[in-house]
Amino acid sequence: MKSKEQVLNQIRNQVLVSCQAYEPNPHATINDMVKMALAGQLAGCKGFRANHPDYVRAIRKAVGEEPVIIGIWKIHTPGNDVYITPTMQAVRELVDAGSDIIALDCTNRVNAYGKYCYDLIPQIKEEYPDIVIMADCSTYEEAKHAAELGADIVASTLSGYTEYTLDRYPLGTDFQLLKDMATIPNVFVLAEGRIWTREEAVTAFESGASACVIGTAITSPWMITDRFVKAVNKHFNR
Amino acid sequence: MKSKEQVLNQIRNQVLVSCQAYEPNPHATINDMVKMALAGQLAGCKGFRANHPDYVRAIRKAVGEEPVIIGIWKIHTPGNDVYITPTMQAVRELVDAGSDIIALDCTNRVNAYGKYCYDLIPQIKEEYPDIVIMADCSTYEEAKHAAELGADIVASTLSGYTEYTLDRYPLGTDFQLLKDMATIPNVFVLAEGRIWTREEAVTAFESGASACVIGTAITSPWMITDRFVKAVNKHFNR
């Protein structure tokens, strides 16, 4: 098993690829997400993010032991919006599947079980001292709180997706949040969310991120086509 | 079978997706290219380009009769650079597989059989009067000549890839060639080659293209990751 330091050093100043797809995306299969990871690996990518233990396990098997895998488990409960790795059982299964990093919702929202996911942080640290903990946040305050609880990584993943940050969604990647996160001591800042271009990736690093995760822009031919089609439709006033 | 007019109307002012991948790309399988086409179709794309009769047939089966398929067959011969649909037999197999459009090399270069591929144009017109003929060109003169021989579509596909246009490769999509092609009477101009961004797609239409084919930027997670990785490496002076 990699040490926390090894994991963070391996992804520092690197591009990671998030390999996720959901219905009706035709690529919403384990095999397709494994292919995405292999394509990323061939291009020199050193880490991946994947949803569900089965996906983590399959990608681990395909890419080998070296690459860093951020494991998440999106568990949706009707009537509740907190779904990224909301339980300790989810954490355990993701670790067993081969995750080096566990990412979880660290927003200021109660999950379906009446708890804040960030309260899992001390529990994860105790049970898995070598697992890197990544806090998916939507605001600076959430990131600061998660870091205080012991998160190793804070990420901009959820900016634009919580009710109180919806206004930031149309702005794209939340560079201001990255700048603010970079002022929090002793924590690794990771940029994630709506990075579409090379320029945005570079700006994320310039804003203080130490790594950047790119998803849809690489792994969703559906959504990439959609962007082109919409731009051309707009050009023709359709 | 669609009429030529139907085919051209269907792709006019549209984005088409080129579904091609080659070793060592992990997506270099028929199944993966079918998925790419399905992803494009889900995003509203009305046409596809595919290499090899087996790929054309599989994509046709997956997307149904309506979408337009541009069929090519890259047949490589050592010591010769002319490989896009270089023989009448290749044309026949592509038509049988379900192509609406046959694209072929129309550069001013002799193929492995000592002939110019553009000389296939009159032969295709005679044998398949309803098949749309697309001339993959690298210069204005080649496009003009192909149109005079009866090509229905002229495309910028090979600009940057012939020995005498290598200097245009680093410039990206050859918008000047599109502008020049647009002055040729009675021919449909198609932009293809190194379109990576929405802005480039729109500029292609502004330059006189009536349709635009996007390949790698949509269907190669490998090369998309590579672009991000290279940009970030450059930022860090690596």
CB contact under 8 A, B235 and A24: no
In this structure, what DSSP letter does residue A69 have?
E
For residues B54 and B214, give the distance between their C-alpha atoms in angstroms, rounded to a whole number. Answer: 21
Measure in Å the smallest separation between the Cα of A197 and chain B Cα atoms. 8
Measure in Å the smallest separation between the Cα of A42 and chain B Cα atoms. 7
* Segment A68-89, tens digit of pLDDT: 999 999 999 999 999 999 999 9
**φ/ψ bin of B217: left (φ > 0), alpha (ψ from -120 to 50), beta (otherwise):** alpha
* Segment A18-68, tens digit of pLDDT: 999 999 999 999 999 999 999 999 999 999 999 999 999 999 999 999 999
Q: Does A98 contact B at CB distance below 8 Å?
A: no
Most B-contacting residue of A224, A234, A237, A238 (CB-CB within 10 A), to test interface: A224
CB contact under 8 A, A39 and B24: no
**What is the pLDDT at residue A1?**
86
Q: Which residues, at least 6 apart from B40, have a Cβ–Cβ distance to it below 8 Å?
A: A221, A222, A225, B17, B19, B48, B218
Measure in Å the smallest separation between the Cα of B106 and chain A Cα atoms. 28
* CA distance to A41, A43, A44, A135, A167, per residue, from B227 (Å): 13, 9, 10, 28, 30
Pick the closest to residue A30 from A46, A50, A45 (CA basis): A50
**Cβ contacts (< 8 Å) between B42 and chain A: which residues?**
24-26, 222, 225
* pLDDT interval class at A231 (50, 70, 90): very high
Pick the closest to residue B12 from B177, B183, B180, B212 (CA basis): B212
Tokens of A123: 């529990």
The answer, yes or no, to whether ipTM is higher than 0.90 is yes
CB contact under 8 A, B229 and A15: yes
- Statement: residue B1 has pLDDT above 90: no
For residues A144 and A70, give the distance between their C-alpha atoms in angstroms, rounded to a whole number. Answer: 21
- Percent over 90 (pLDDT), chain A: 100
Report whether A16 contacts A214 (CB < 8 A).
yes
* Segment A171-202, tens digit of pLDDT: 999 999 999 999 999 999 999 999 999 999 99
* Segment B48-105, tens digit of pLDDT: 999 999 999 999 999 999 999 999 999 999 999 999 999 999 999 999 999 999 999 9
* Segment B123-170, tens digit of pLDDT: 999 999 999 999 999 999 999 999 999 999 999 999 999 999 999 999
Q: Does B12 contact A at CB distance below 8 Å?
A: no
- Statement: residue A134 has pLDDT above 90: yes
CB contact under 8 A, B224 and A218: yes
* Segment B99-122, tens digit of pLDDT: 999 999 999 999 999 999 999 999
Report whether B180 contacts B187 (CB < 8 A).
no
**Chain B CA closest to residue A222:** B39
**φ/ψ bin of A163: left (φ > 0), alpha (ψ from -120 to 50), beta (otherwise):** alpha
Which residues 43-82 of chain B have a CB within 8 Å of chain A?
43-45
Start-to-end CA span in chain A (Å): 54
Q: What is the phi/psi pair of residue B213, to 5°?
A: -105, 130
**For helices B30-42 and B53-63, angle between their N-to-C axes, nearest 10 degrees:** 40
* pLDDT interval class at A14 (50, 70, 90): very high
**Cβ contacts (< 8 Å) between B17 and chain A: which residues?**
221, 225
**What is the pLDDT at residue A129?**
97
* Segment B213-237, tens digit of pLDDT: 999 999 999 999 999 999 999 999 9
Report whether B152 contacts B132 (CB < 8 A).
yes
CB contact under 8 A, A44 and B225: yes
For residues A226 and B9, give the distance between their C-alpha atoms in angstroms, rounded to a whole number. Answer: 21
Q: Does A18 contact B at CB distance below 8 Å?
A: no
**Chain A CA closest to residue B198:** A228
For residues B33 and B51, give the distance between their C-alpha atoms in angstroms, rounded to a whole number. Answer: 10
Q: Does A223 contact B at CB distance below 8 Å?
A: yes
**What is the pLDDT at residue A122?**
98
- Percent over 70 (pLDDT), chain A: 100
